Chains A and B, each alone.
Chain A
Amino acid sequence: MWLLVRDNALMPAVDGSVTLAACPDTADRGEDWRWRVWRGPPTASDRLGEVFVDTDTDYVVASTTVVGASPITLTRQAGEEVVVVPLAGHHLIADSIGPWQRWLHPGDAFVLEGEESETVNLSSAPGPARVAVVRLSTTNDAPLRWVP
């Protein structure tokens, strides 16, 4: 399952922070909390705010890399969840085996998850470009599935 949430659909909290993606996506149904990728409130130097990752460290291992303008092939391992967060510039994310592709912009969030591995291609428009790629997996090798 892939999930693309545009900036205009993300609601800031009272303190100005914004949850970009989370598992579960809501606390309303009482699911076990696993992780959250979020932005801090906007600052004078960063209109969108800094990006943070919170996890249940007993269950989830997270790693974050920031990539630049070069085209990259992004492979998600089976059972892993990946959150792509544009930080600067505009980025084209494309299915490596199908026609689907979308432009991602700062403020958007893109989640990939599933029990089979898959590959997408990520390339950037000319100009400054930075993308955070957050990888999340379980500590026990069980598939980490996204919960709405």
Chain B
Amino acid sequence: MPYVLNAWYVAAWSHEVTREPVARQICTQPVVLYRTKDGAAVALADRCAHRGYPLSAGRLVDDSIECGYHGFAFGCDGVCTRVPAQSTIPSRSKVRAYPVHEKDGWIWIWTGDVERADVSAIPDTHWMNDPAWAAVTHSYRFECRADLVHDNLLDLTHESFIHRTTVGDDYIYEHGITVEVDGTTVTVDRLMPGVEAPPLYAATMGIEGLYDRFHATEFAVPSHHTLHSGITGRGRPREEGYLIKVLNGITPIDERTCWYYYAFCRNFGVENTAATEDLRIGLATVLDEDAEALRLQEIALSSRPSTEHDVLIAQDAGVAKARRVMAQLLAAEAAATPTTAPGAGETRYAASAASSSPATASVG
């Protein structure tokens, strides 16, 4: 299964990356994460250039990571800094260094062409780090392909069934959606006027009665969804209401599993620590429900003949459009004809690959 590589993916929470190497697999690529002595996050290919041993099983020596097998050491740029028992370092002795960017508690990694890594493309996540908002966070390893999580977030009618006792309600299905496709962003918006707040939130909001409820999933294909959700007075602007921003970083591990980095940020009851704890437990239930549903769906899909296809309906417009955008991004990358530089395992694209000019000395 191919992945869109020219993209930023969440690699880890900031607190997970320390002076102890930590291993991750991202889009099937093994990565080791650690921090320099100055605290900068580093991501390198988790495979020693010498004999392929995982660097994450080694140790840090200053800002280099030393392989635990034979002691080759690599700096944060991936270049070998030490070979035991000899002073000459082979020129091919380097590992791939990934661009990383740390923001608001997440460490993002760029898995594609280094020259295309633009941090301005990283989605806005400031709510995780804003004192006017309170955040509840979770992270999961979902036993399903990342695409199923994307589908799940773009079609929230599943709340009426999978999350009936937490955030779901029958009325969700009864309200139409507005889908927007703008560049590579797909948004699915649903306004539910004159309804009760979902049970999980009502107590924290301290409200009863009828309100306008809304949720808009904004999917920055291929890796991040911001769910703009909330409750507001009937007929009142959304920004006046109890607002929720749910940040969902979906990072493929391989064709059957993915990381799910989750932050639920609210602008109400911010100082209410009991409410935060209740939400932490309640939202874990919601994510457990999703995880189990998608695990079962992955199993069911694994035996589906290739001639069978989803029967999509109008409610699935966002799902279908996002799949289309994903397919277009994949096709564009495939058309760029990636080539692999020997030794470094670094993906370069033909259009940007530097040409070599071997010097030839005449003899005789």
- Taking Cβ atoms with an 8 Å cutoff, the residues of A that contact B are 1-6, 8-9, 11, 25-26, 28-30, 98-100, 102, 113-114, 145-148
Query: A4 contacts B181, CB within 8 Å?
Result: yes
Chain B: which residue is nearest A81 at the CB level? Answer: B314
Please report the C-alpha to C-alpha distance between residue A113 and residue B313 in the assembled complex, in whole angstroms.
Answer: 12
Complex: chain B residue closest to A116, CB-CB? B176
B319 & A8 in contact (Cβ 8 Å cutoff): no
Interface size on B, residues (CB 8 A): 29
Instruction: Name the one of A4, A29, A98, A113 contacting B312, with C-beta atoms under 8 angstroms.
Output: A29
Q: Chain B residues near A6: list those with CB within 8 A.
A: 180-183
Verify B182–A9 contact, CB threshold 8 A: yes
B309 interface residue, CB < 8 Å from A? Answer: yes
Q: Given A3-B317, A146-B314, A147-B313, decide whether A100 and B176 contact each other with a Cβ distance below 8 A.
A: no
Chain A residue numbers with a CB within 8 Å of B316 are: 148
The total number of A-B Cβ pairs within 8 Å is 76
Secondary structure of the A contact surface, majority rule: loop
Chain B residues with CB below 8 A from A4, complex form:
178-181
Distance in Å: Cβ of A49 to nearest Cβ of chain B: 20
Contacts of B182 in A (CB 8 A): 6, 8-9
Bound Cα distance A137, B322 (Å) = 27
Using a CB-CB cutoff of 8 Å, which residues 302-338 of chain B contact chain A?
Answer: 309-317, 319-321, 324-325, 328
**A25–chain B nearest beta-carbon distance, Å:** 6
How many whole Å from A8's CB to the nearest CB in chain B?
5
* Residues of chain A contacted by B263 (CB below 8 angstroms): none
Q: Roughly how many angstroms separate A146 CA and B179 CA in the complex, as a whole number?
A: 13
Residue in A closest to B191 when the chains form the complex, CB atoms? A98
Find chain B residues with CB under 8 A from A146 CB: 314, 317
Are the C-beta atoms of B312 and A147 separated by less than 8 Å?
yes
CA distance A145 to B311 in the complex (A): 13
Contact with A along B157-193 (1 / 0, CB 8 A): 0000000000000000000111111111000010101
- The interface residues of chain A lying within 8 Å CB-to-CB of B317 are 1, 3, 25, 146, 148
Is A5 within 8 A of B181, CB to CB?
yes
Nearest CB of A to B235, in Å: 8
B-side contacts of A3, CB under 8 Å: 178-181, 317, 321
- Is B237 engaged at the interface, CB distance under 8 Å to the other chain? yes
Contacts of B180 in A (CB 8 A): 3-6, 102
Pair A1/B309 contact, Cβ less than 8 Å = no
Cα distance A146–B183 in the bound complex, in angstroms: 22
Q: Is the CB of A1 within 8 A of B181?
A: no
* A26/B179 contact (C-beta < 8 A), A100-B191, A114-B314, A148-B312 known: no
CB distance from A33 to the nearest CB of B (A): 15
Q: Is the beta-carbon distance between B177 and A1 smaller than 8 angstroms?
A: yes
